């Protein structure tokens, strides 16, 4: 063995050393590769689970969006109905106010006429001569 080592120069020693180091790294890679393979399988499994969850959530999203769309249509319809009811209510309130004003005017006219009648009952108009003739002409027209 001494003879073999003495015949080797520095280049050959470095090449043999590099070859040994490469062999060690190759062996470590081959033996340590199982951890990476297991980790890759776990990640692939997790990825499949996440894909299934994504698909489930997407289907739920579609259902929810359909529900929101239907609810939005109902809201629009109810808003239109509310607008129509408010419009009718405003019209009825205006009619009520007009009726109240007419009633108030009629009541005032009634009160005024009643006062005049009471006044004439207590203090009848006494006309004589030309006033009496004029009054008779006006009432007979």
Give domain status of residue 68, yes or no. yes
Give domain status of residue 134, yes or no. no
Q: Specify the higher pLDDT residue, 1 or 91.
A: 91
**Confidence category of residue 137, pLDDT binned at 50, 70, 90:** confident
Residue given tokens 């203090």 in the structure block? 123
Q: Is the pLDDT of residue 1 over 60?
A: no
Give domain status of residue 136, yes or no. no
Domain count across the chain: 1
Can you give the residue range of the structural domain that contains 89? Answer: 2-119
Give domain status of residue 26, yes or no. yes
End-to-end CA distance of the chain: 164
Chain segment 48-73, per-residue pLDDT in tens: 999 999 999 999 999 999 999 999 99
Give domain status of residue 74, yes or no. yes
Distance CA 66, CA 73 (A): 11
Are 87 and 80 in contact, with CB atoms under 8 Å apart?
Answer: no
* pTM exceeding 0.75: no
């Amino acid at each position: 063995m001494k003879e073999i080592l003495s015949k080797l120069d520095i280049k050959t020693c470095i090449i043999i050393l590099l070859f040994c180091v490469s062999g060690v790294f190759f062996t470590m890679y081959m033996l340590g590769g199982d951890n990476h393979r297991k980790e890759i399988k776990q990640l692939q499994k997790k990825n499949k689970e996440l894909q299934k969850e994504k698909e489930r959530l997407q289907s739920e999203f579609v259902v929810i969006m359909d529900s929101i769309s239907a609810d939005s249509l109902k809201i629009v319809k109810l808003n239109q109905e509310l607008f129509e009811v408010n419009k009718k209510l405003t019209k009825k309130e205006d009619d009520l106010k007009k009726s109240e004003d007419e009633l108030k005017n009629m009541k005032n006219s009634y009160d005024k006429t009643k006062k005049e009648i009471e006044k004439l009952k207590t203090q009848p108009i006494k006309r004589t001569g030309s006033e009496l003739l004029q009054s008779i002409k006006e009432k007979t027209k």
